[in-house]
Amino acid sequence: MIRLRENTDLKEMTTFGLPALCGRLVEFSDPETDLPELDRQGILDGAVVLGGGSNMLFTAPAPDLTVIHPVNTGVRFSSRTEDTVIVTADAGVTLDDLCRQTCESRLWGLENLSGIPGHIGGAAVQNVGAYGAELSDAVESVTCYSLKSHGFVTFTKDDCRYGYRDSVFKHQHQDEMLIVCRVTLRLRVTPDLKLGYKGLRDALCEKFASGKNASFQADIEELTANGVSPMAVRETVVALRDSKLPAPSETGSAGSFFKNPVVTTGELERVISHWNEKEGNTHPLPYHITSDGMAKLSAAWLIDKAGCKTLAEGGAALWQSQPLVIVNLTGDATAEEVVKLEKAIIRQVESVFGVTLSPEVIHI
């Protein structure tokens, strides 16, 4: 079913809670019939897709903009083997509901992503990640409506070209727009603990093991032998998130505003020596070498050490326990204030470290 509304404020449909006028909001619940019809009428041309609105910033009123919003919410479990189950979720399914549902079914794959706001459609575009896991680890395929071919196309996981908060869906020209309609996941029946994130490993070992073992593998073996379930991991992750991040129901934000910068090792050396030369500096610069030999820096650390934590613009400020998050602190911030604050942070980090932050949040 298609539902059309003119001149709509998207404030309540985004987690930032900022005023965001769009000319036309189009909701659809049945991709197979609704999208070809909207395409025939030219309504998809130049449109933008809004999922759960948890990673979007509408920077200015957009009276000429059409916003497409999937509201299909089916979940289907199929083809169970000894090791895996295939789960297909419609784009409008809330990611955290899906995490809960799959954890309740004792399936492994989404537990570390518990508590991330937004829909599975948006998550497949952004390749969300947290606590040592990324959605792409579990993706089998993604089915989209293509504005280029005027039909449905299924992308295998390889076709999705997943990277850090990146996918093929983020690199389409306007006339090639892809609307994610459903996401198929391959989840594991057999235990598959992901302990790559130190804080999660520590918290799980504290609760469910005799202590932390010397090796990562020994921890996995002990926790598995002790029967740690996907639901236990989910609950631990949610508790960790609650201690650090603003609750979307109380404080508006779009989560991490900036991506962690990825630089070459040559660039890393330059940043380190520049930082080490600073008078009185006693904090070593944290980084992590990725599998392709690049260095990933911590944007939160750079923002903190560049002295940005106290920056604010009107109602927009940084979340004190996680300075990577710009929040709508007063509840009546504007997009203009958020953008001003974003620019001030980028400038300050650049002047202290010579590193340019890029936003994770999609600007419209």
Binding positions for ligand FAD, 58-77, rule CB under 6 A: 70
CA distance 203 to 196: 12
Residue 128, token pair as written in the block: 């969300």
Report the nearest approach of ligand FAD to the CB of residue 279 (Å): 36
Handedness of CA 145, 151, 157, 161 (dihedral sign): negative
Kindly report the length of the chain: 364
Q: Per CB under 6 A, which region of 27-35, 241-249, 329-337, 347-355 contacts ligand FAD?
A: 241-249
Residue 147, token pair as written in the block: 């504005």
Q: Is 333 an interacting residue with respect to ligand FAD (CB under 6 A)?
A: no
Which one-letter DSSP state was computed for residue 133? E
Q: Is 323 an interacting residue with respect to ligand FAD (CB under 6 A)?
A: no
Q: Is 54 an interacting residue with respect to ligand FAD (CB under 6 A)?
A: yes
Report the nearest approach of ligand FAD to the CB of residue 127 (Å): 7
Residue 130, token pair as written in the block: 């947290």
Report the nearest approach of ligand FAD to the CB of residue 43 (Å): 15
**Is 143:91 a contact under the CB 8 Å cutoff?**
no
CA distance 262 to 241: 24
Report the nearest approach of ligand FAD to the CB of residue 25 (Å): 13
Q: Is 56 an interacting residue with respect to ligand FAD (CB under 6 A)?
A: yes
Q: Which of 253, 290, 226, 267 is nearest to 355 (CA)?
A: 267
Q: Is 260 an interacting residue with respect to ligand FAD (CB under 6 A)?
A: no
Among positions 38, 85, 110, 180, the unique one binding ligand FAD when judged by CB under 6 A: 180
Q: Which is nearer to ligand FAD, 85 or 91 (CB)?
A: 91
Collapsed DSSP state (helix, strand, coil) of residue 197:
coil
Name the residues that contact ligand FAD, by CB under 6 A: 15, 48-56, 70, 91, 116-119, 121-123, 125-126, 128-130, 169, 179-180, 245-246, 248, 253-255, 362
